[in-house]
Structure 1
Amino acid sequence: MSTLTISLLFLLGVLLLLLIEAVDLRRHVACIPIRILVNGTRGKSTVTRYVAAGLRSSGLPVLAKITGVVPTVIQPDGSQEIIRRRGRARVQEQICITRKGGRTRVNSLVLECMSISPDLLRLEGRLLQPQIYVITNIRDDHREQMGTTDEERVEAICSAIPEGAIVVTADEKHASVIRRFADLKRATVVAVNPHEELEGIELFHAEFPENVAVAIAVCRAVGFDSLRIREAILEESRRQSDYLVRFDREGRNIAFVNGFSVNDVDSARVFLEQWTQAIGEDRDRMIILNTRRDRPLRTAEFAAWCATIAGLKGIVLTGTHVPYARRVLSRQNVDRSKIYCWSRAQIARAREELCSLATSDMSVFGFGNIAGDGMSLSEALRNQGQDAKGAA
């Protein structure tokens, strides 16, 4: 048998296997009545949790998956199972969870989109065939994959709108562009107005109302709109608002606000303003910026933004891109005596380090990246301090 013949047979075998895989996935997809894919720049994990909680309160089996730094499967009973990855995240995770949903005959599958590049975003949509496509918002992030302009980022997310889907979004800024892309796919857009959706509802003081409003709108879009659904989403909102840790030393109160998962400047600015008002504006403020070497543009943007915040007590740098961040701050004329570069040992004793820097009551805000030192620092402060979730 010639080499050419062997090569052709091998190619045919591969194509046959791919065809079998595709047919098998479609079969499992068809077994799940409600399929929801949550995309956007900020709030994907949060909205996924809220939607799953809302639908679960209806009594129907719901399977959900969070793709964040701690990838997690939320089982139909609400229990959580952390995904132990070997290597980098792959789209195959979405296929595996979809097959599980089909095998177990869940009523609803809620998946956080895990792709960043435009090609993989579109692939996820084609594979999972969601009836509901959520766009939480479109903001400046992931420039390396999504592009450096607003138009490129909008196209990356909107070009993945599935054919004939219902698009739920609270992104007012890009509403007209989202509609234009949706029209090309014969999709319907549900534009969410958080003020109208949440009228008369009191949220946890630092919750983003857009996330709660979108989750309620998604549940309504699939036919579930009741007081019980709203209450379940609000309860999940309160349970997930685990941002604040307080501790005291020598008469000084330190409040650490975990915003490491807030990794675009626009959202960070809102987060900082909301929490400053919630905790009190008469306190010193300090920023901990956790950096990543593979996110140089994010490092530059956050460092430049930190340099513009008036009256900061100091800026603590952690992570894998500290020298670059320090140079950016220096170029922005930040006093070197206000820049602190922490080692792993200092992160491990974060509470003591912060107390040594405080001369009065102080609010400390973590931004940039939750991965790596962000997670280590969060755990160190949570374990050392007194959890004051929801306290102001």
Structure 2
Amino acid sequence: MKAFIPEIHRSGDIRAFEEKISRISMRVLVEGTRGKSSTVMLLEEMIRGTGARTLAKITGESPQIIHNGEHIDIFRERDNILLDYDNIPSVISHDVDAIIFENQAITPYTMRYIHHILRPRHIIIPNIRIDHTEGLGNDLAEMTENFARNWLVTDELKHVYYSEPIPKVHDLVFPILRDFAGQHPRHVVLHDVSIPPEYREIPGIENFCNAAAFMQSTFGIHENPAPFLRRITEKLKVKVNCRSVRYVNAAKINDPISLIHMLRYLLRQTPEQVALVAYFRKDRVGRSDIFEDFFGEIDEKFGDRIERIWFAGFGTGHVFKHLPPRLREKTAINTDSDDIETIIATAEADNLIVIPIINRVNPFMDRLYAWLEDPEKAGTRTRYAFSAVSGLRELPASACPEQPPADMMFLTARDKNF
């Protein structure tokens, strides 16, 4: 896979970017709280299918640009907080007819800055659910208002597509978006994308429905849902490793509403008991607080199907205190990487489905997934290193020197500051 190393020569590149972006008529921005990367990739595939030359960008755990279907890793040579650091050189470096970029949900300022430089004509919002309360708003209503205000950054008319399969969320979010759009008809046309009743229980179905609605409205093309449904149901299947331990890849589900939606779908597919393994990040305290409030609902809906819980990371004792009594009896706190073999052995002995949840990007989850996916290879202890240049990096046992490289420091698996 190729690597893209963004470089900016400030004044000249910015002028070139502004000229080029104005010549690309199809400018699509995907934002919201969940499913952005998946929706970007769907849209890139669909738009490319019309014969257009495409450039897409996804962020998060593994930032990439996608040029005409080719995925290219973004390698950042230095720490850089400028949001145009990836976007400007990505656009300058490729001749395309359409751009489809992900807008990270960090703060209202960062979201609006991306609107300012990309000037989208189409905005796709797969969903807005409670998360990122440290920056986006204290509750779902405030978060929704902040997303709506993005539409006023530029004067161009934008078509906004919003969908939500969960009725109680849709009934709170959509009226706020509708009222805001009604107040600013010169800036926005809002599309309330419906989801067929037979699909509403499928986690992530809103990604396809939004992309399909965009393609129908913009190109007059009807997209067949069957291939997407096969993909998403395959992702949601219970996987089995060589030790017959079963698991579901759910650690990227970072908000409780989506987790409840996924658990409802999963537990209807199997009668087996499950084990939850949760990691709480020090830099996502707001997310931890949200889950504290939702564990009661999780217990009410699924408590009889949850056999064991392990809490790892920052502030596990605090979260534990807020658990319902039934879940508290099943929960181990202060879990670290040394306990992962115990988790695997327990799941194997008790025939439990392991479900990692809440935060994916951390060394603990890296090691847990290594054990779940290939326990024979994971038997050798993994070490991690951190560099101001390349960030957190897993070092396989065969590649672990006695001393770290000059720009690295080793971090132990017990470090609770990840």
Structure 2 vs 1, CA of residues 295 and 33 (structure 1 numbering), >3 Å: closer, same or farther?
A: same
> Does residue 1:342 correspond to 2:335, yes or no?
yes
The question of whether the paired residues in 2 share the 8 Å contact of 1:50 and 1:212 is answered with yes
The question of whether the paired residues in 1 share the 8 Å contact of 2:277 and 2:357 is answered with yes
**TM-score, normalising length: structure 1:** 0.79
Structure 2 residue aligned with 1:14: none
> Does residue 1:218 correspond to 2:214, yes or no?
yes
- How far apart are the structure 1 equivalents of 2:256 and 2:50? 37
Structure 2 residue aligned with 1:77: 69
Structure 1 residue aligned with 2:264: 273
> Does residue 1:35 correspond to 2:27, yes or no?
yes
- How far apart are the structure 1 equivalents of 2:19 and 2:230? 35
Deviation at 1:130, TM superposition (A): 0.8
- How far apart are the structure 2 equivalents of 1:88 and 1:272? 38
Structure 2 residue aligned with 1:159: 149
- Secondary structure at the counterpart of residue 138 of structure 1: coil
Deviation at 1:95, TM superposition (A): 2.8
> Does residue 1:286 correspond to 2:287, yes or no?
no
> Does residue 1:254 correspond to 2:245, yes or no?
yes
> Does residue 1:377 correspond to 2:373, yes or no?
no
Structure 1 residue aligned with 2:174: 175
How many correspondences in the alignment?
352
- How far apart are the structure 1 equivalents of 2:348 and 2:356? 16
Deviation at 1:180, TM superposition (A): 2.5
Structure 2 vs 1, CA of residues 28 and 294 (structure 1 numbering), >3 Å: closer, same or farther?
A: same
- How far apart are the structure 1 equivalents of 2:330 and 2:222? 55
- How far apart are the structure 2 equivalents of 1:232 and 1:245? 20
Structure 2 residue aligned with 1:194: 195
- How far apart are the structure 2 equivalents of 1:232 and 1:85? 38
The question of whether the paired residues in 1 share the 8 Å contact of 2:57 and 2:63 is answered with yes
The question of whether the paired residues in 2 share the 8 Å contact of 1:315 and 1:338 is answered with yes
Structure 1 residue aligned with 2:390: none
Q: Whose relative contact order is higher, 1 or 2, with alpha carbons under 8 Å and at least 6 apart?
A: 1
Structure 2 residue aligned with 1:132: 122
The question of whether the paired residues in 2 share the 8 Å contact of 1:54 and 1:230 is answered with no
Gaps of 5+ in 1: 1-16, 387-392
Structure 2 residue aligned with 1:117: 107
- Secondary structure at the counterpart of residue 57 of structure 2: strand
Structure 2 vs 1, CA of residues 150 and 301 (structure 1 numbering), >3 Å: closer, same or farther?
A: closer
Deviation at 1:297, TM superposition (A): 2.8
Structure 2 residue aligned with 1:245: 239
Structure 2 vs 1, CA of residues 147 and 285 (structure 1 numbering), >3 Å: closer, same or farther?
A: same
Gaps of 5+ in 2: 1-8, 165-169, 378-418
- How far apart are the structure 2 equivalents of 1:157 and 1:385? 46
Deviation at 1:235, TM superposition (A): 6.9
Deviation at 1:381, TM superposition (A): 1.6
Amino acid at match of 1:74: I
- How far apart are the structure 2 equivalents of 1:297 and 1:257? 25
Structure 2 residue aligned with 1:46: 38
Deviation at 1:304, TM superposition (A): 4.7
Taking only the aligned residue pairs, the percentage that are identical comes to 20
The question of whether the paired residues in 1 share the 8 Å contact of 2:58 and 2:64 is answered with yes
Amino acid at match of 1:139: R
Structure 2 vs 1, CA of residues 158 and 27 (structure 1 numbering), >3 Å: closer, same or farther?
A: same
